[in-house]
């Protein structure tokens, strides 16, 4: 597992941090992993989804409440993605500015587990053309600092991950309407998947 964590987050972590990814992990297995950009969604949409699913008795990984002091963030994050039977990706307006989110999304696709995208103040059509350098996330990938730090292969992998997820059936959310209109549907679907 440590080697996988190193692989999943290897390019976004400084070299000295890679060694910490071999820290022993907890024994908890998760049912659902919530991928999100913290400043955009952690205290709003992600927290609402977490509270609801946790209230249903599911083990849900949302970094802040699940990580304990001393936990290896890369190891625990990867383990949560690997053990979860469902991933929820909250694609917000500045999502692509987070290399961590993009690395998670790419790894989630590699696990082959079901992914439910939640397009949070984003239209999936605005992501369809990311591989051609168009759409809402195009500026994030044309940022000179990002282009200098990450290989073109990694950037292409992240773009393909975004594009692939933009074609998955999910929810389009404007502001906070998800909780009131769609959470029941997600609960029913999760219940069906977990049987």
123-159 pLDDT, tens digit each: 999 999 998 889 999 999 999 988 899 999 999 999 9
Rounded mean pLDDT, 155-176? 90
**CA 137/CA 98 separation, integer angstroms:** 11
* pLDDT for the residue numbered 1: 38
**CA 160/CA 180 separation, integer angstroms:** 31
Residue 5, pLDDT > 80, answer no
Q: 69-95: per-residue pLDDT in tens?
A: 787 788 889 999 999 999 999 999 999
* pLDDT for the residue numbered 19: 45
Q: 34-74: per-residue pLDDT in tens?
A: 999 988 888 888 888 888 888 888 899 998 777 777 877 88
Taking a C-beta distance cutoff of 8 angstroms, is the pair 85, 113 a contact? yes
* pLDDT for the residue numbered 87: 95
Cα distances (Å, whole numbers) of residue 153 to 104, 132, 149, 165? 16, 15, 12, 18
Give the predicted TM-score (pTM) of the model: 0.83
Compare 28 and 184 and report the one with higher pLDDT.
28
């Amino acid at each position: 597992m440590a080697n996988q964590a190193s692989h999943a987050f290897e390019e976004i972590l400084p070299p000295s941090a890679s060694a910490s990814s071999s820290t022993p992990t907890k024994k908890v297995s998760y049912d659902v992993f919530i991928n999100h950009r913290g400043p955009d969604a952690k205290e709003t949409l992600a927290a609402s989804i977490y509270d609801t699913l946790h209230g249903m008795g599911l083990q849900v990984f949302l970094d802040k409440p699940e990580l304990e002091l001393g936990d290896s963030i890369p190891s625990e994050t990867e383990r949560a993605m690997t053990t979860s039977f469902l991933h929820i990706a909250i694609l917000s307006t500045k999502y692509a500015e987070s290399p961590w989110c993009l690395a998670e999304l790419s790894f989630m696709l590699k696990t082959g587990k079901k992914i439910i995208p939640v397009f949070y103040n984003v239209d999936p059509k605005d992501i369809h053309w990311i591989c051609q350098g168009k759409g809402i996330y195009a500026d994030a990938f044309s940022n000179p600092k990002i282009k200098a730090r990450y290989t073109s292969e990694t950037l292409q992998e992240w773009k393909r991950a975004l594009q692939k997820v933009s074609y998955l059936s999910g929810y389009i959310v404007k502001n906070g309407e998800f909780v009131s209109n769609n959470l029941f549907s997600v609960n029913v679907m999760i219940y069906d998947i977990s049987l």
